[in-house]
């Protein structure tokens, strides 16, 4: 029992050191990771890679500040207009501020959004109140066994409204409870489009409230989609309602009013580990998928036809000197947080390669020397040596912090 209690302490010691030491290491040695922004220029009909303060073409030609602004007239139209260098027409289209502003949009998805705690109560705004400003409702809905509206002031369920909406959902074949609920729970948007909801079987629905009445549409998908995340957007162009991320069938957008699903031409996108960025202008959309040490940019025209692609790869974390050093010093590291998740967990990250074996060996030799010097019995210390051999410096520290003094100490040899 007492020996067992010591091993619990040693395990805690290993856990704590494997969190603290690498975190200290990163505080000292971590460098800013590369995270370039990629745009598509309708002038040069090529990509522009913005990395820190440098702007380059894929071929490596560097742009000056003026060239950069002129290559992206939609991003910098206000500057170009002020300079008097904004072209009157591009590709035969007359340049007008409202249409430029309407077509421009940016979007960014990171895996942190997928693996995150989600609210289970949402406000359903009135979509057609006839007022210019949107207003927050006095109740919140949840979709569990049915759709329930809870009035905040009284903390009681509005039975009438709840059954009205539950019946409307049931009539469209909704299987309770809801799986995902996505919307824009704010009044700071151009109009209200309610919520995009998947039911227990993964079918997709659009739910909003029009003049107090439920509006429910079942959205037909071309194939059965394994939807993992939806993000509603408020585009000035009103081109689409939301982004739909599937586990491994890619990314879709749901076109405004017609509910057609348009697949974005990004292959190999994994929402659990990849970042997705989109920048849109009057002519093109530039889609970028970013991995830890690579990106793939795809430019599409307004009909979602691919007009260009460009990709790059650079050295990964463990190929850089600081990463190599970490993988030599420590056999693994434990983190409470991860860049791909909003949840707290014990993220166990084994070091790649076998270089850490050298340092584990050094830790083992140190443990052996300490045991010899103290004259402790070898037999009783075999588990400690094994622990040190496997966990390296962590095990060495933990076994020394909680000393293994259960065996009788040999009296020092008399001269």
Partner 1 sequence: MLKSLIYKEWIKIRLVVWIALGLSLVALINIFLKVRHDILFVDAANYWYSFLFRGVVFFSILKFLPFIIGLAIAIAQYFPETVNKRIKLTFHLPVSENGVLIWMHTFGALVILTVFLVVLVLFTAGSAIFFPSNIIRASLLTMMPWFLGGMATYFLVALILLEPMWIYRGLYTAVAAGFVTVFYTGASIGAFRPVLMPLALITLLLSFVVLFSGYRFRKGEM
* Residues within the interface to partner 1 (CB under 8 A): 1-2, 4-6, 8-9, 12-13, 15-17, 19-20, 116-117, 119-123, 136-140, 142, 150, 152-153, 155, 185-186, 336-337, 342-346, 398, 401-403, 405-406
Q: How far is the CB of 120 from partner 1 (least distance, A)?
A: 4
Nearer to partner 1, 4 or 64 (CB): 4
Q: How far is the CB of 345 from partner 1 (least distance, A)?
A: 5
Cα distance between residue 219 and residue 227, in whole Å: 13
The DSSP secondary-structure symbol of 19 reads H
Q: 43 is written with which tokens?
A: 């002038």
Nearer to partner 1, 72 or 398 (CB): 398
What is the length of the chain?
415
What is the H or E stretch that residue 328 is in?
Answer: helix 321-329
Phi, psi (deg, nearest 5) at residue 401 = -65, -35
Q: How far is the CB of 17 from partner 1 (least distance, A)?
A: 8
Residue 279, burial from CB neighbour count under 10 angstroms (0-12, 13-18, 19+) = buried
Q: How far is the CB of 152 from partner 1 (least distance, A)?
A: 4
The CA-based angle 61-62-65, given to 5 degrees, is 145
Cα distance between residue 343 and residue 153, in whole Å: 31
Phi, psi (deg, nearest 5) at residue 397 = -65, -50
Nearer to partner 1, 123 or 214 (CB): 123
Q: How far is the CB of 369 from partner 1 (least distance, A)?
A: 19
CA 59 to chain centre: 30
Nearer to partner 1, 5 or 35 (CB): 5
Q: How far is the CB of 347 from partner 1 (least distance, A)?
A: 10
Residue 114 forms beta bridges with which residues? none
Residue 49 forms beta bridges with which residues? 38, 56
Cα-Cα-Cα-Cα dihedral sign, residues 86, 89, 91, 94: positive
Q: How far is the CB of 343 from partner 1 (least distance, A)?
A: 5
Instruction: Tell me, letter by letter, the H, E, C secondary structure of 62-77.
Output: ECCHHHHHHHCCCCCH
Nearer to partner 1, 152 or 369 (CB): 152
What is the H or E stretch that residue 227 is in?
Answer: strand 227-232
Q: CB-based contacts of 254: which residues, under 8 Å, 6+ apart?
A: 196, 206, 219, 240, 241, 242, 244, 260, 261, 262
Nearer to partner 1, 21 or 254 (CB): 21
Cα distance between residue 259 and residue 79, in whole Å: 37
Q: How far is the CB of 342 from partner 1 (least distance, A)?
A: 6
Nearer to partner 1, 54 or 154 (CB): 154
Nearer to partner 1, 173 or 403 (CB): 403
Nearer to partner 1, 152 or 306 (CB): 152
Q: How far is the CB of 22 from partner 1 (least distance, A)?
A: 13
């Amino acid at each position: 029992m007492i020996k067992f209690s010591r091993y619990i302490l040693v395990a805690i010691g290993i856990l704590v050191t494997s969190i603290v030491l690498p975190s200290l290491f990163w505080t000292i040695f971590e460098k800013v990771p590369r995270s370039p922004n990629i745009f598509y220029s309708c002038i040069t009909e090529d990509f522009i890679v913005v990395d820190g303060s440098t702007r380059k073409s894929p071929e490596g030609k560097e742009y000056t500040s003026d060239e950069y602004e002129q290559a992206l007239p939609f991003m910098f139209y206000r500057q170009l207009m002020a300079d008097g260098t904004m072209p009157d027409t591009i590709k035969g289209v007359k340049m007008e501020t409202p249409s430029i502003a309407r077509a421009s949009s940016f979007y960014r998805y990171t895996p942190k959004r997928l693996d995150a705690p989600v609210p289970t109560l949402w406000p359903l705004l009135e979509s057609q109140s006839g007022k210019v400003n949107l207003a927050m409702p006095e109740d919140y809905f949840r979709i569990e066994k049915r759709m329930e509206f809870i009035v905040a002031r009284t903390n009681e369920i509005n039975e009438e409204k709840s059954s009205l909406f539950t019946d409307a959902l049931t009539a469209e074949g909704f299987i309770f409870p809801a799986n995902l609920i996505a919307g824009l729970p704010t009044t700071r948007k151009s109009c209200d489009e309610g919520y995009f909801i998947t039911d227990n079987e993964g079918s997709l629905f659009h739910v909003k409230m029009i003049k107090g009445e439920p509006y429910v549409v079942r959205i037909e998908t071309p194939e059965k989609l394994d939807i993992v995340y939806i993000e509603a957007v408020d585009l000035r162009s009103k081109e689409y309602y939301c982004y739909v991320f599937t586990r491994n069938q890619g990314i879709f957008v749901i076109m405004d009013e017609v509910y057609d699903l348009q697949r974005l031409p990004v292959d190999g996108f994994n929402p659990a580990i990849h970042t997705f960025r989109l920048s849109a202008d009057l002519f093109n959309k530039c889609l970028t998928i970013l991995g830890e040490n690579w990106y793939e940019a795809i430019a599409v025209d307004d009909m979602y036809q691919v007009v260009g692609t460009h990709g790059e790869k650079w050295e990964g974390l463990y190929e850089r000197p600081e990463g190599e050093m970490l993988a030599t010093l420590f056999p693994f590291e434990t983190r409470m947080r991860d860049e791909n998740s909003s949840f707290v967990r014990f993220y166990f990250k084994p070091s790649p390669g076998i270089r850490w074996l050298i340092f584990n060996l050094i830790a083992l030799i140190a443990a052996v020397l300490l045991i010899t010097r103290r004259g402790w019995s070898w037999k009783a210390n075999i588990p400690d040596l094994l622990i040190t051999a496997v966990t390296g410096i962590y095990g060495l520290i933990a076994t020394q912090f909680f000393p293994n003094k259960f065996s009788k100490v040999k009296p020092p040899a008399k001269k």
